[in-house]
């Protein structure tokens, strides 16, 4: 359908060796976008041709700048930046280390900022573009044992709103997606625990954990002209989790049990 057509658009996806990033890179390739996949780790198994892979640490400005330069050298432009790379953080708040906090904030909050600003420096003279940040329901909710992660995802929401306002005049739309629970490496440990999984499923109206491919449609929507009047939005993709009120007295005891 033309409204959702992103064929030929040049898209960078960070964290593309991971669950959601890999699904996004493959999903956008399938609909004809030119995809550059970036990650600190090589995707295993490798992403299919013609998806290009560029090893990049999103927390380092020089590497992010090189990623965008190389993308523009190969493809002539950058139309869409999907800032998806992130790390988890699993400490009780009073035990979180300075190094742990810094690492999570560097990748999850500074990374999307560096990716957005390097992309915008190309998109401004190009006449526009799209930035899609992957936030989280934990941009809105607190979660015990995830103080740095929640703070970083709150930052992603505010980054999205601020850049949307600042760059609207350049026709750069900046939106975010806030996933609920998707089955990936990021939460594999937690989801392996029935004590955690059962109440999560019980409190999610759609009654299940999502598969990585279920994020792709929203990315295509935000990258395409179908969302031409959207900027500064955070689209929640969570099976109704947030609508149902997040963590409840049913789930919290299980989380505290794991602590």
Ligand X SMILES: NC(=O)c1ccc[n+]([C@@H]2O[C@H](COP(=O)([O-])OP(=O)(O)OC[C@H]3O[C@@H](n4cnc5c(N)ncnc54)[C@H](O)[C@@H]3O)[C@@H](O)[C@H]2O)c1
* C-beta separation of 84 from 24 below 8 A: yes
* Residue 149: active-site member: yes
Q: Choose which of 20, 120, 131, 150 interacts with ligand X (CB under 6 A).
A: 20
- Cβ count near 48 (within 10 Å): 12
- Which distant-in-sequence residues (6+ apart) come within 8 Å of 34 by Cβ? 8, 9, 10, 11, 50, 75
Shortest gap between Cβ of 139 and ligand X (angstroms)? 9
Distances (CA, A) of 39 to 44, 53, 202: 11, 8, 34
Segment near ligand X (CB under 6 A); pick from 13-21, 28-36, 195-203, 241-249? 13-21
Site string for ligand X, 127-156 (x = CB under 6 A): -------x-x--------------------
Shortest-Cβ-distance residue relative to ligand X: 18
Q: Are 9 and 36 in contact (CB under 8 A)?
A: no
Nearer to ligand X, 86 or 120 (CB): 86
Catalytic residue among 149, 196, 221, 247: 149
Q: How far is the CB of 106 from ligand X (least distance, A)?
A: 7
Stretch that binds ligand X, among 78-86, 117-125, 219-227, 240-248 (CB under 6 A): 78-86
- Alpha-carbon Rg for the chain, nearest whole angstrom, is 18
Among 179, 216, 222, 227, binds ligand X (CB under 6 A): 179
Residue ranges in contact with ligand X by CB under 6 A: 14-15, 17-21, 39-41, 56-59, 84-87, 107, 134, 136, 179, 181-182, 184-187
Catalytic residues: 149
């Amino acid at each position: 359908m033309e409204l959702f057509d992103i064929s030929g658009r040049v898209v960078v996806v960070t964290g593309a060796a991971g669950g959601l990033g890999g699904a996004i890179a493959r999903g956008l390739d399938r609909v004809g976008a030119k995809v550059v996949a970036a990650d600190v780790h090589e995707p295993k198994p490798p992403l299919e041709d013609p998806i290009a892979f560029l090893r990049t640490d999103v927390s380092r400005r020089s590497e992010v700048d090189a990623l965008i330069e190389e993308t523009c050298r190969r493809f002539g432009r950058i139309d869409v930046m999907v800032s998806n790379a992130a790390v988890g953080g699993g400490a009780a708040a009073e035990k979180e280390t300075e190094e742990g906090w810094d690492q999570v904030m560097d990748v999850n909050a500074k990374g999307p900022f560096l990716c957005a600003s390097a992309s915008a420096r190309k998109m401004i003279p190009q006449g526009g573009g799209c930035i899609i940040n992957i936030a989280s329901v934990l941009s809105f909710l607190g979660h015990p044992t995830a103080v740095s992660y929640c703070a970083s995802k709150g930052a992603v929401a505010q980054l999205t709103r601020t850049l949307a306002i600042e760059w609207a005049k350049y026709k750069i739309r900046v939106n975010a997606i806030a996933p609920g629970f998707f089955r990936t490496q990021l939460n594999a440990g937690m989801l392996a625990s029935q004590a955690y999984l059962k109440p999560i499923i019980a409190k999610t109206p759609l009654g299940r954990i999502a598969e990585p491919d279920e994020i792709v449609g929203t990315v295509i929507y935000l990258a395409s002209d179908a969302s031409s009047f959207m900027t500064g939005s955070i689209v929640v993709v969570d099976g109704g989790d947030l609508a149902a009120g997040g963590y409840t007295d049913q789930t919290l005891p299980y989380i505290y049990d794991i602590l």
